[in-house]
Copies of this chain bind each other. A is one copy, B any other.
Amino acid sequence: METRITLKELAASLNLSVSTVSKSLNDSTEISPITKRRVTELATLKRYVPNNMAQNLRGKKTKTLGIIIPNIFSDFFAEALSSMEEQSDKRGYNIIISFTNDSLEKEIECINKLIHRRVDGIIISPTLTESQFGSSTHLNKLSEYNIPLVLFDRILDNVACDKVGLNESLLAEEATLDLCKLGCKKIAYFSNISNTSIGNQRISGYSDAIKKIKGKKQIINFHKIDLKISLKHLIGTNSIDSILADDGLSSILIVKSILELGYRIPEDISMLNFSNGIFSHYLSPSLTAIDSKPIEQGKIAVDILIDRIEDRLSPELLDFRLEVSLVHRESTRRLVPSI
């Protein structure tokens, strides 16, 4: 079935040696223009395609990156992945993509598979479990195989490698202070990812901000409550005037509940969330959100990884934290201009 033509067959048809044919195809200066032309012509005619496997076997590099992310169901990961693919392509690298669905077991399997496939480097956004319990031996072992690793978005402290992400704590603090600036005084954080490293950083940033504005800390674990009942109580007792939410999905549910309870956004409650996905644009009301720049982050992660692979970086490990900005939309009150 596999009938693709090889260098050897090409050489035979041309009455040339394999070396000459190979050099011709690689446009080596050693070869005469006439021979080159003969070779390339036949190669085109016979649809010769070099065997990457053989080339890589000699070259020791596979020009392939492994990318491991939890899923592509959030806009953040979808856009980040898309951007990584584009940038890898631009720099001449292929990618092998795996999704863990936040299963640590699958993540470990993936890592092993990528080692087997001899990828030149790996970008990973680890599972939440891992970020909770920090059992990252499978990541740390990559250095023993000399496979560069870039930790993306979900950054772990116990892994020594290049890192690309956000300053989640600072971000949460700024978001909280922003709500305050817009006139909110009772700001609750509905956390959807508590107990993870990112979740904890956000909580810490939120807490710092609340302390600064001398407010009352109200951290609500999204998974542990009956949303509608909680909201009814919180708003009814005038305990909150604004909500900081983790992701698009929880925002949607919160908005839906608030509206169904008969309250208005932003008049009664302001909403701000960490995910600037397509939801935030198109929901009614549209949501003020933190633009975490997945496109830029993805590109940077790929660039750092390839630079590391190609030895263009100084040995110190990078810890790149992107500056991000708030996108104000309908879900938060306008700032009343002071005269």
Contacts and interface: CB of A to CB of B under 8 A. Distances in A.
A95 B94 contact: no
Contacts of A56: 53
Contacts of A81: 72
A229 B87 CA distance: 41
A79 B72 CA distance: 8
Given A78-B73, A252-B282, A145 B53 contact: no
A96 interface: yes
Contacts of A101: 82
B57 A145 contact: no
A53 B52 CA distance: 9
A10 to B, nearest CB: 16
A50 interface: yes
Contact of A118 (B52, B71, B78, B97): B52
Given A57-B57, A82-B72, A51 B284 contact: no
A214 interface: no
A81 B146 CA distance: 30
Contacts of A96: 94-96
Q: Which of A47, A62, A278 lies at the interface centre, i.e. has the most chain B CB atoms within 10 A of its CB?
A: A278
A38 interface: no
A49 B276 CA distance: 42
Interface in A59-82: 60, 62, 71-73, 75, 78-79, 81-82
Interface residues of A, number: 52
A328 interface: no
Number of copies: 2
Nearest to A98: B85
A93 B257 CA distance: 44
Contact of A117 (B73, B94, B116, B279): B94
A259 interface: yes
A42 interface: no
Contacts of A62: 53
A170 interface: no
- Among A49, A79, A311, the one with the most B-chain Cβ atoms within 10 Å of its Cβ is A49
B60 A71 contact: no
A60 B2 contact: yes
A253 B282 CA distance: 8
Contacts of A73: 75, 78-79, 82, 278
A277 to B, nearest CB: 10
Nearest to A2: B60
A116 B72 contact: no
Contact of A99 (B50, B71, B82): B82
Contacts of A85: 97-99
Contacts of A57: 51, 53-54, 57
A259 B49 CA distance: 57
A1 interface: yes
Contacts of A52: 116-118
A231 B208 CA distance: 49
Given A53-B57, A85-B99, A118-B52, A146 B1 contact: yes
Contacts of A82: 71-73, 99, 101
Contact of A145 (B47, B50, B98, B279): B47
Nearest to A94: B96
